[in-house]
Structure 1
Amino acid sequence: MAADIFGFRDTIHWYDENAEKYAANIENIPSIELVDRFANAVGKKGKVLDAGCAAGRDSRLLKDRNLTPVGIDLSQSLIEIARKKYPDIHFEHGNLLELPFENETFDGVWAHASLLHFETTEEVSKALQEFNRVLKQDGIIHVFVKQQPGEQKTEIVSDRLSGHDRFFQYFTKDEIQSLLEQAGFSVEEIQDEYKDPAGREEVKWVVSLARKQSPGMFAKG
């Protein structure tokens, strides 16, 4: 499936090949403050999509806050780890650009560091439109992406051990706000220069919380 999904085959391959190590590395660096903010905005017992769920770390945190999470990721290896670790949570192997869910299924979408591997702005727009489609009216979306450092918009990072590349796309606060609004969301909170959860001084993030207001300007009739 990954071989047919636009231009990030190598990135998905990297996650498949390094799933166990990656899952262990990120297990203890959750963004508790942001999880709490999202959970409070959605409300108790809300059904939420963990878009790009990796090995299920945030899905578990969302469930601990009385939400009903459904995780989805394009890495089959990470999904298998998530299913083994958290058998009481539903996980899907699937594509954020073609979500396998009906319209207005979810009360919230948690897109935490999951949009930064798309190669083009058009792909990010399509993913946001899909999030809009599966959200109920007034549903909440959390978006967390790496902040653009200066003029550098994209970067290919080569992993020395696996030999595979990972593609990263960076964003400005204004760009994320515009993309969310075009996809039919009303931005309620947005912040750049957000500290890196892993403690890297050189890495900053853009974090936003928005609400579904309309189908979006690119929605299909």
Structure 2
Amino acid sequence: MTTHLDATRESYDTVAEDYATRIGSLFAQEPISRSMLAAFAELTSGPVVDVGCGPGHVTAHLAALGLSVSGVDLSPKMVEIARRQHPDLRFDVGSMTALDLPDGELGGLVAWWSIFHLPPAELPAVFAEFRRTLVSGGQLLIGFHVGDERLSPERAYGHPVSYDAYLLRPDVVAGLLGKAGFEVKARLTMEGRKRPQSCLLAKAV
């Protein structure tokens, strides 16, 4: 039986090259959201993991801000591209649903538009997994698309895909983070190209 993780992995393996070509230029056009990455970097000490790192553009940006950072992604093809484009950084294949990390190892964790494909019912367990890996006082930064819809696109980045995507309400995400052991310290909501986007900066308590 194909799970949503399998569908997401296979879809991103399919679109990886075209995604990597397009996403770098889009990221360069997002100074407001990058300001949250800058704040995260200033507040964070210790190792950082960028979960759902894709081709590694955010991982590299965080490294340029002075952080000791590595990336994890579900898609082997994305990890292959990340390693090729950023050979000085570490990238591993893995899932945010079960991170291969000891308890309390990280000073910070970033999920930059990478919880998009998780069914909302799985978010409590994933946020608990994030909290498990962070030291007390560690920083978490999450970016996501705002809404309350489930999307099932048939094509993306010029290729057929088979994943679902979920829009989320900031208050709902903040509430789930609170239950998982985080205190939300800052919120940013932006009008996106197609729909609003939100970033939440939280501290592990």
The two structures have a TM-score, normalised by structure 1, of: 0.85
Q: In 2, distance between residues paired with 1:153 and 1:104? A: 34
Could you tell me which amino acid in structure 2 is paired with residue 42 of structure 1?
Answer: T
**Match of 1:206?**
198
Give SS of 1:70's match.
strand
Could you tell me which amino acid in structure 1 is paired with residue 34 of structure 2?
Answer: I
Q: Pick from 145, 152, 156: which aligns with 2:152?
A: 156
Q: Pick from 6, 9, 13: which aligns with 1:12?
A: 9
**Match of 1:184?**
181
Decide whether the 8 Å contact of 1:173 with 1:191 is kept in 2: no
Quote how far apart the aligned CAs of 1:61 are.
Answer: 0.5
Quote how far apart the aligned CAs of 1:134 are.
Answer: 0.6
Quote how far apart the aligned CAs of 1:75 are.
Answer: 0.3
Quote how far apart the aligned CAs of 1:166 are.
Answer: 2.9
Higher RCO, 1 vs 2 (CA within 8 Å, ≥6 residues apart): 2
User: What is the aligned residue count?
Assistant: 199
Q: In 1, distance between residues paired with 2:106 and 2:62? A: 14
Superposed CA RMSD: 1.6
Quote how far apart the aligned CAs of 1:28 are.
Answer: 1.9
Moved more, 132-141 or 155-164: 155-164
Q: In 2, distance between residues paired with 1:94 and 1:27? A: 22
Quote how far apart the aligned CAs of 1:8 are.
Answer: 3.7
Decide whether the 8 Å contact of 1:111 with 1:144 is kept in 2: yes
**Match of 1:36?**
38
Quote how far apart the aligned CAs of 1:34 are.
Answer: 2.1
**Match of 2:30?**
none
**Match of 1:76?**
76
Decide whether the 8 Å contact of 2:186 with 2:200 is kept in 1: yes
Mapping of residues 1-221 of structure 1, within 5 Å? 6-30=3-27, 31-43=33-45, 46-119=46-119, 121-148=120-147, 152-159=148-155, 161-192=158-189, 194-196=190-192, 200=193, 202-213=194-205
Give SS of 1:95's match.
coil
Decide whether the 8 Å contact of 2:4 with 2:163 is kept in 1: no
Give SS of 1:28's match.
helix
TM-superposition CA deviations, 1:59-88 (whole Å, max 9, x none): 101111110111000000000011111111
- Extract unaligned runs of 5+ from structure 2: 28-32
Decide whether the 8 Å contact of 1:143 with 1:209 is kept in 2: yes
